[in-house]
Amino acid sequence: MTDDAHSHPDLPVRHSYALSVERAGFGTALSLVLRTLPYAAVRFGILFAFSVVTIVWFVTAVGIGSWLGAKVHPFIGVGWMIMLLGTYGYLWWFVVRYVLYLVQAGHIAVLTELITKGRIENGSVGMFDYGRRVVTDRFGQVNLLFALHLLVRGVVGAFNRTLDWVSQLLPIPGLSSVVGIVNAIVRAATTYIDETIFSYNLARGDENPWRSSKDGIIYYCQNSMEILKTAAWVVVLDKVLTVLLWVVMLVPAGLLMFVLPVSLKPGGMILGFVVAALFASNVRQAFLKPVFLVMVMTKFHLAVRNQAINTEWDDRLSSVSAKFRDIKEKALAPPPLPAAR
């Protein structure tokens, strides 16, 4: 059974979990991610392997497709490329993305334990075992976890589209383009918010994950301005560091172009840019994003500490999001979970 001692669904303050952190800055986040570095390493390994497969798959699709187009018929070559690239897209969406989400869910479980308690149980449990057990025990079925994640993301996205305080921050005429950029940043921050609500779900420990997710969404709405300020800076920092990573990754690409024969340099240049972009993306996904996520997570946990919930947001969210109404219905009659193993 799950431990719901910190969940109080009938009280104004819906939770009573402790926090071991007092700041939501970059240094705090980096420290927590370094303590969970094995998770980041596993994620990087999966992404690295998939990048290698991506390069081989693309070269195979284009190379053989071009040969078939020249030797057999152009339609045959195009058909081959469409088939292989379409299969690649399917594998990414339904297999790799799914596996990466499971790894990420375990990582968030471990990070949440460190944020709330400062340690993983009594220190005798490995972080991979702990992450797997918490996610499995709390949700029972991975499909339920993934479905809840998609619903929460949809609700957060719908709410963010209704925000009007962004334009109020820049009331000067002629700055509509700047407001558009800020709105784009807010949309990009959505991914950190839904993962943060998942962390709240775990920290609260409610035996009904739909109910605690519903409350987590409302708590986010109550504190959206402060949380999104952090998230917006995170997105900007993300873009800057990603570009720097790509520039760093261009160094081996430059070495490749230096040693290639003159006849192969144009193709080598294109391949170098592609490889640099892929591996910069891998480093970002595996090591940078967890730091940014923890910055938003800690900001949320600190904001909602001892805070009463504003139930008026229930009606407001119900009016703008069918997905929120779906979560509410499931919170009242949640799907049964198998007993913890």
At which residue do the structure tokens 């891998």 appear? Answer: 282
Examine residue 202 and state whether it is found in any structural domain, yes or no. yes
Cα gap 290→287, rounded to integer Å:
6
Under DSSP, the state recorded for 15 is B
**pLDDT tens digits, 188-231:** 777 899 899 999 999 998 888 899 999 999 999 999 888 888 88
Position 101 scores a pLDDT of 82
**pLDDT tens digits, 31-44:** 999 999 999 999 99
Give DSSP secondary structure letters for 191-248: HHHHHHHHHHHHHHT-S-HHHHHHHHHHHHHHTHHHHHHHHHHHHHHHHHHHHHHHHH
- pLDDT above 90 as % of the chain: 35
Q: Is 133 exposed, middle or buried (0-12, 13-18, 19+ CB in 10 A)?
A: middle
**pLDDT tens digits, 98-125:** 788 888 889 999 999 999 999 887 666 7
Examine residue 3 and state whether it is found in any structural domain, yes or no. no
Examine residue 8 and state whether it is found in any structural domain, yes or no. no
Examine residue 99 and state whether it is found in any structural domain, yes or no. yes
**pLDDT tens digits, 153-177:** 899 988 887 776 555 544 445 545 5
Total domains present in the chain: 1
pLDDT of 2 over the 70 cut: no
CA-to-CA separations, 260 to 210, 252, 266, 271, 275, in angstroms, rounded: 57, 12, 10, 12, 16
pLDDT of 12 over the 60 cut: yes
Examine residue 341 and state whether it is found in any structural domain, yes or no. no
pLDDT of 262 over the 70 cut: no
Task: Give the mean model confidence (pLDDT) for residues 73-93.
Answer: 78
172 lies in which domain range? 26-329
Examine residue 279 and state whether it is found in any structural domain, yes or no. yes
Examine residue 337 and state whether it is found in any structural domain, yes or no. no
Cα gap 341→328, rounded to integer Å:
28
Query: On the CB side of 43, how many CA atoms lie within 13 Å of its CA?
Result: 28
Q: Is the pTM of this model over 0.85?
A: no
Position 36 scores a pLDDT of 94
Examine residue 132 and state whether it is found in any structural domain, yes or no. yes
* N- to C-terminal Cα separation, the chain: 9
| Residue 218 identity (one-letter amino acid) | I
Position 257 scores a pLDDT of 63
Cα gap 29→21, rounded to integer Å:
10
Position 341 scores a pLDDT of 41
CA-to-CA separations, 212 to 18, 140, 204, in angstroms, rounded: 16, 16, 7
